[in-house]
Structure 1
Amino acid sequence: MIKKIKVGFWEFIAGIILRNRITILIVIGIITVFLAFQWHKIQFTHSEANLLPDDHIVNIEYNAFLKKFGEEGNLIVVGVKSEELFTPKAFSAWNKLMTDLKDDKEVDLVVSVNDLKKLQKNDSLQRFELVSFTNDKKVLSKEYLSEIKNDLFQKLPFYEGLLYNKKSGSIRSAIYLDKKIVNTIIRKEYVLDAFIPKIEAFEKETGIDLKVSGMPYIRTLNAKSIVDEIGLFVGAALFITSLIFFLFFRSHRATLISVVIVIIGVMWTFGLLGLFNYQITVLTAVVPSLVIIIGIPNCIFLTNKYQQEYVAHGNKAKSLQRVITKVGTATLMTNLTTAAGFATFIITNSEILKEFGIIASISIIALFFLCLIIIPIYYSYQPVPQPKHLEHLNRNYTRVFMSWIERTVKYRKSYVYTVSIALFCISIYGALQIKTSGSLIEDMPKNTDFFKDIIFFEKEFDGVMPLEIMIDTKRKKGVLKLSTLKKMDELQKTIEEIPELSKPISILNLVKYSKQAYYNGNPGYYDLPTSQEQTFIASYAKNAFNGGKKDIMKSYVDKEGQVARITTFMKDIGTGNMEKIDQKLWKKINEIFPPDRYTVTITGKASVFEKGTKYLLDNLVSSLLFAVFLIALLMVIMFRSFKMVIVSLIPNILPLMITAGLMGFFGIPLKPSTILVFSIAFGLSVDDTIHFLAQYRQELTKHNWKIKKSVFATLQEAGVSMFYTSVVLFCGFSVFMLSSFGGTIALGGLIAMTLGFGMLSNLMLLPSLVLTLNKRLANEQEFHEPTINIVDKEDYEENLEEK
């Protein structure tokens, strides 16, 4: 009785689908319309991807820093390396550009040569004053501009590294945005609609090429590139997969319905993003394309099965019913394993990965039901397949390819094992060579102007990625004590000795500048004051600064004078080098700042991203093992055979090892984009295994439980579909190599390569293992009745009669 319930499940489902076609299509239409109305909620993320859990110590420290000093990624820099800048026409245009930027309500502060302030001593009032560096009353002659440039480079060491590079002669301006808009859409609108047009107008007027960078600018243009590529990926994926589908089946009707199904799937994906109030990130942006790439293979299996059934008995109604009953479970399981590959990211505790895993896995399961429902309903209204539509079942190139596979499995199993073991050993050696990368900019599009500008600022000003050091003296006004300033000076000298870091900025710079000003601007006195000098300087400085909007140093000490901030900028250095820099800094910090008197924190976007990458890498193994466990569990449920679990895992782990080995040999690092490859590729590669074993189970009942005969019958029956779907997946993921983002290129290329190896492994190694592990005749007691039945009831009874 239990057995009859199991074998009748898919017949029951088939009956519901084929008897309620109109009603079901109306329901799908209503769901599609409902989800389409959720699109207006979709927003693109306006902050960097946080790869760490909210309760991670690194996030806690970073949030504490933001609470104390506010958003640190609000600096845009505009640089130029040209003698032409100090000509009357160009300098006048530069002054106008900076004045226009300063007048923008989105800008908090502009520090530039044209309105630079210098510290000057007023003996009569016994105080310091901020006076203009340039004289507006003077005519902008070449001589005067040359004097300005000379004074800037020779007399104002305070601004070295901030506004100029003394060695190369590069000049830059610092534009500090209002911190309140940095992580909002206002930042995006300002940069694209106001800031960039002004930069372009200056370049057109003067012919001078300006370099622009800084986190708000980089993030805005990087996000724009991601949004622009969503349409590219969806269009390219749809075109290439539907073209391959048509070339295989030579049927406009079959191609059309497949395209319609994946388009509905894409609409549902966008609707789910809006429904869950998830933002579009660099990861969720690729899910619509994944839906297309994964959906077309579903359509291939179902369409192929329908045509095979029609060829077998010529009964259209029976063929449609058997499409559902024969491959329903197998297709469900393949989609579950694919979804499981994505779902493993849910356990990482990283919000961006969790959202990606949820959207991708739900979209894939929804896509399965769309395919299983719409394809039989569609063909029920269509004429029967014509002979030209069935030619692909016996097409010459597929027949030659499958014949070669069969001969290899039949006569050269030892070669298959030898090559597999050799590849596995070589791949292990290559995998041990893999390096990691925690770079914020490595995956950015390298052919864009903004990336080239990043390289300019790395060369001229040692980077644009902020690294912050927060020093808590644990007592009010402890920062301005001479002993604390000396310790900070010692730490800043260590920072300056590290070539990957820029010249640091802190309250210490202002204290040194105060001493220079006290000695009438002599740059030789740009240094820490002695205890005696500090007394006199303090009396001059007491009423010199009232804070406010234009005080550049206001964000470097808290209101109580207890916590100091040192800001430096990093080059694009990656995870390994970042760890070395951390070690150097902490060695010095522990040496000069006793933990019982000071609390020091190293944070900032660069540090958080690097540590986030390391966190993901540390969790890679557990995530992949979870995927293996989850998929193995599905195999156990499906086949109730330990042998089948072993047989299913080995051919799919080998391609992963080969990919890891190639990454090591070709110097492709592990980073947030490439670590996604393994779980995704494993979930997809197992699909072929399930289709093979599901068909193998059916063939066993047909061939009196004879292993060898069943294996080769399985290759003939399922091999073509496995080949077709693997080609579609390979070409589909290759579409991502059209991207300008290095991470997306690596993701697409590595998954495509893994699936290519996976296809060969499942067509050659998998049947070889089945033959080897089941040398004796199988029987129904050895190959247990599966928990989820994969043999249709009618076939089962027919096979019993044949016996």
Structure 2
Amino acid sequence: MKKKLKVGFWEFVARLVLKNRIAIISGIVLLTVFFGLQWKNIQFSFTEANLLPDDHPINNEYNQFLKEFGEEGNLIVVGVKDDAFYTPKNFAAWDKLMKSFKAQKEVDLVVSITDLKKIQKNDSLQTFELVPFVNQTKVNNDAYLKSLKEELFTKMPFYEGLLFNKKSGSIRSAIYLDKKIVNTAHRKDYIINDFIPKIEAFEKETGINLRVSGMPYVRTLNAKSITDEISLFVGASLFVTSFIFFFFFRSFRATLISMIIVIVGVMWTFGFLGLFHYEITVLTALVPSLVIVIGIPNCIFLTNKYQQEYQAHGNKARALQRVITKVGTATLMTNLTTAAGFATFVITNSVLLKEFGIVASVSIVALFFLCLITIPIYYSYQPIPKEKHLEHLSRNYTKVFMDWIEHTVRYNRRYVYAVAILIFAVGTIGALKIKTSGSLIEDMPQKTDFFNDIVFFEKEFDGIMPLEITIDTKRKKGVMKLSTLKKMNQLQETIEAIPELSKPISILNLVKYSKQAYYNGNPDFYALPTSQEQSFILSYAKNTSKNTDQNIMKSYVDSTGQIARITTFMKDIGTGNMGVIEDKLQSKIDSVFPADRYKVVLTGKALVFEKGTKYLLDNLVTSILFAILLISLLMIFLFRSFKMVIVSLIPNLLPLVITGGLMGFFGIPLKPSTILVFSIAFGISVDDTIHFLAQYRQELVRNNWKIKRSVYATLKEAGVSMFYTSVVLFAGFSVFMLSDFGGTVALGGLIAITLAFGMLSNLMLLPCLVLTFNKKIANQQEFVKPTIDVLADLSDSDEESENSDIK
């Protein structure tokens, strides 16, 4: 009675679907329209990925910095390294370009040598004046421009590292955007439609190649690359998987419905993004393609089962119903395990990964129901399969491959174990060699011009990624105390001694420049005032700030004069080196700034990203263990046998070890993108295990609990579908290797390799383990009855009721 109840549920579902086809299809259409209306809520991310939890101390410190000084990533730099720059024509074009930027409401400030200000002493007013560095009446003279270059490089140390590199001769302009637009869509519109065309017009007019970078610029073009790749991935994955599907089944109508299903699934995925108000990031942009890659295997299993059933008894109605009743739970469980692999990212507390995990897992489960409902309904309206559509079930190359698998399992089990142990040992050695990377730009598209410009600024100006230090003196106007300035000077000397960091910028630079100006611009006096000089030099500076429309100290000192800011820029150096630099800086901070008198904080985008990567790495093992636990619980729920859990885990853990070994041997680091590989691949790879063991249990019943006969029958019955789906998954994830993003390439390639090994492991090692662990089953009690019949075994007596389902 209990068995009938379990089987009856799927019979009920099958009859409900097949008797209400028009209503169900209408519901799917309405649901698709609903999700389509949610697309209006889709937004693109305008900031870098924040991998840390919102309440993490590092995030709290960074948010406090933003509260005090505003958005730090509002600087765009435009550089040039060309002697032709110092000609009247090109210099005038540069001046025109900078003035055009300055005139725009999106720009707060432009600092360029064409309108550079230098500090000059006015003894009568006891103040410093900002006077033009360039004499506009002489810029048409070649000799003057050459002398201007010489003066800039020798007498303006305040601007060294900010506007020029004295050693190489390269120069740049600093363009500060309005902080209100930096993290909005307006920034993208301005840079794409206004800023870049102006740069291109200058290059066309002068023939000089300009280099452009800075976080707002990089964010914008990086986001554009992500957007462009969504259509590439969706199109490529749809083409590749559909082509393979057609190659296997040789049926246009089977291929057509599969394409329609995954396209609708993609539409639903975008709908979920809009419904949840999630942003499109470098991770969520992959979900639509993942839906295609994972959805086609669902179509393969269901289509293959329909054709197998029809070939077995020639009854279309019965075959359609058995598509649902015989593989409904098995396909549901495989999709749940796949979704579980993505859902594990929810426990990381990282908003980026949490949103990715939620959208991916929900989309996969929704796609399962879409496949399970749509395919039987579609074939109910189609003619019966022709002979040519069933030829693939006994096609020669698949038969040869499966015969080889069966022969290996039957006669060479010892060699399978030996190879598995050897691979495990080698993979473990390689996995121990894996390094980590916390690079903010490593995963950016390296074939693009903007990435080459990043490399240029790293070489010429020591990077573009801001590292910020705030110094709270715990008293108003404490920053301008000479004792504080001396401590800041010691810290800045330490920063300058670190090759990976650029020359720091702070109020200290202005104080040094003030002393230089006091001594009539002599660069030898670019230094901190002595205690004797302090009173009269700083009084000049204070008078300057009072008489200047914009307080020149406000960007690096808060309004109360209590908190100072030091900004430096960092090269792309990765997690390990970042930790070394942080230790050096922290050691100097601890020795110079007493904790009872100062609160010094290291922050900035570079540090936040590095800490985020470290956070993910620290939680990597937890995430994988959670995935294993979650999937193990599903296996126990299915089979109620600890023995079966062990049997199912070993073939799926081995491919993960192989992948880790490949990463170690080939120098592929652990980073936010490659961290995802293990949980995703494990969740997908275990699908084959469920299909195999589910079919195995059914074969045991059919073959009177004879182990060997059941294992070999399972290989024949389920092996072809496992092979087909694995090929589709391998090819589908390989599509991501078309990306310009290094992380996406690594993600796709590593998952594809893992799934390929997973297929071989499940087709060879898994049956060997089943034969070894279950040497003898005397009766059903030794193979415990599962909670749910994964594969219902319909009797022939049910045929009459099945035939009545479709009229």
Does TM-score exceed 0.5, indicating one fold? yes
Unaligned runs of 5+ in 1: 799-803
Match of 1:39 in 2: 39
Q: Could you tell me which amino acid in structure 2 is paired with residue 153 of structure 1?
A: F
Q: Which residue of 2 aligns with 1:277?
A: 277
C-alpha displacement at 1:479, in angstroms? 0.7
Q: Which residue of 2 aligns with 1:712?
A: 712
Question: How far apart, CA to CA, are the structure 1 residues paired with 2:585 and 2:474?
Answer: 21
Match of 1:801 in 2: none
> SS at 1:179's partner residue?
coil
Alignment partners' CA distance in 1, 2:148 and 2:543: 28
Distance 1:642 1:726, change over 3 A: same
| Deviation (angstroms), 1:6 | 1.1
Shift of 1:4: 2.0
d(CA) in 2 for partners of 1:548, 1:660: 60
Q: Between the two proteins, what is the percent identity of the paired residues?
A: 75
Q: Which residue of 1 aligns with 2:766?
A: 766
Which amino acid in 1 is paired with 2:389? H
Alignment of 1:126-525 (within 5 A): 126-525=126-525
Q: Is the 8 A contact 2:139 2:145 kept in 1?
A: no
Q: Deviations over 1:681-705 (max 9, x none)?
A: 0000000000000110110111001
Distance in 1 (CA, whole Å) between partners of 2:303 and 2:20 is 20
Q: Is the 8 A contact 1:304 1:721 kept in 2?
A: yes
Deviations 1:537-586 (A, max 9, x none): 02212210249775554210011111000000000000000000001001
Give TM-score scaled by structure 2 length.
0.98
- CA spacing shift, 1:119–1:399, aligned 2, 3 Å: same
CA 37–565 in structure 1, closer or farther in 2 if over 3 Å, else same: same
Cα distance in 2 between the residues matched to 1:384 and 1:208: 68
User: 1:352-392 deviations in whole A, cap 9, x for unaligned?
Assistant: 11111110001000000000000000000101100000110
Displacement, 1:777? 2.9
Q: Shift of residue 180 of structure 1?
A: 0.7
Deviation at 1:792, TM superposition (A): 2.0
Secondary structure at 1:673's aligned position in 2? helix
Does the alignment pair 1:116 with 2:121?
no
Matched residue type, 2:590: N
Once residues 185 and 453 of structure 1 are traced to their aligned partners in structure 2, the CA distance between those partners, rounded to angstroms, is 23
The range that moved more, 186-195 or 137-146, is: 137-146
Q: In structure 1, what is the Cα distance between the partners aligned to 2:548 and 2:744?
A: 44
Distance 2:539 2:602 in 1: 33
**Which blocks of at least 5 consecutive residues in structure 2 are unaligned?**
799-807
Matched position secondary structure for 2:78: strand
Name the structure 2 match of 1:68. 68
Q: Greater CA deviation, 539-548 or 160-169? A: 539-548
Cα 1:619–1:778 change in 2 (3 A) is farther
2:802 corresponding residue in structure 1: none
Give secondary structure in 2 for the equivalent of 1:110.
strand
The DSSP-based 3-state class of the residue aligned with 1:555 is coil
Code of the residue aligned with 1:757 in structure 2: it is F
CA contact (8 A) 2:545 2:552 kept: no
Give the secondary structure class of the aligned counterpart of 2:664. Answer: helix
CA distance in 1, matches of 2:190, 2:778: 71
* Matched position secondary structure for 2:622: helix
Runs ≥4 in structure 1, deviation > 3 angstroms? Answer: 546-553, 795-798
Instruction: Give the aligned residue type for 2:611.
Output: K
What is aligned with 2:748? Answer: 748
Cα distance in 1 for partners of 2:545, 2:85 equals 32
Letter in 1 for 2:525: Y
Paired AA for residue 478 in structure 1: G
Name the structure 2 match of 1:542. Answer: 542
Cα distance, 1:140 vs structure 2: 1.9
The Cα offsets for residues 112-170 of structure 1, whole Å up to 9 and x where unpaired, read as 00000000001111111000001122242101101111110011000000000000000
Contact kept, 8 Å, 2:698 with 2:793, in 1: the verdict is no
| Partner residue, 2:805 | none
| Within-5 A mapping of 1:78-97 | 78-97=78-97
Moved more, 535-544 or 335-344: 535-544
The farther-off stretch of 451-460 and 128-137 is: 128-137
Q: Does the 8 A contact of 2:112 with 2:173 survive in 1?
A: yes
Distance (Å, rounded) in 2 between the aligned partners of 1:775 and 1:787: 23
C-alpha distance 548-796 of structure 1, shift in aligned 2 (>3 A): farther
**1:797–1:599 distance in 2 versus 1, CA, 3 Å:** farther
- Mark the CA change 1:793 to 1:624 in structure 2 (over 3 Å): closer, same or farther: same
CA distance 1:495–1:780, shift in 2 (3 Å): same
Would the aligned equivalents of 1:8 and 1:793 in 2 still touch at CA under 8 Å?
A: no
* Partner SS, residue 544 of structure 1: helix
Q: Deviations over 1:638-671 (max 9, x none)?
A: 1111111001000000000100010000000000
Contact 1:471 1:565 in 2 (8 A): yes
Aligned CA RMSD, in angstroms, stands at 1.1
Tell me how far apart the structure 2 counterparts of residues 180 and 28 of structure 1 sit (CA, whole Å).
Answer: 42
Deviation, structure 1 residue 219: 0.3
- Mapped to 1, the partners of 2:550 and 2:727 lie a distance apart of 61
2: CA distance, partners of 1:665 / 1:138: 61
Q: What SS does the corresponding residue of 1:498 show, helix, strand or coil?
A: coil
Asked if 2 retains the 8 angstrom alpha-carbon contact of 1:701 and 1:796, the reply is no
Q: Which residue of 1 aligns with 2:652?
A: 652
Alpha-carbon distance between aligned partners in 2 of 1:224 and 1:559, rounded to the nearest angstrom: 37
SS of residue paired to 1:8: helix
Asked whether the 8 Å contact 1:14–1:321 carries over to 2, the reply is yes
With normalisation by structure 1, the TM-score equals: 0.98
State the 1:790 CA deviation: 2.1
What SS is found at the alignment partner of 1:172? Answer: strand
Query: In structure 2, what is the Cα distance between the partners aligned to 1:234 and 1:607?
Result: 34
- C-alpha displacement at 1:796, in angstroms? 9.5
Cα pair 1:342 1:361 within 8 Å, conserved? yes
Contact 1:108 1:549 in 2 (8 A): no
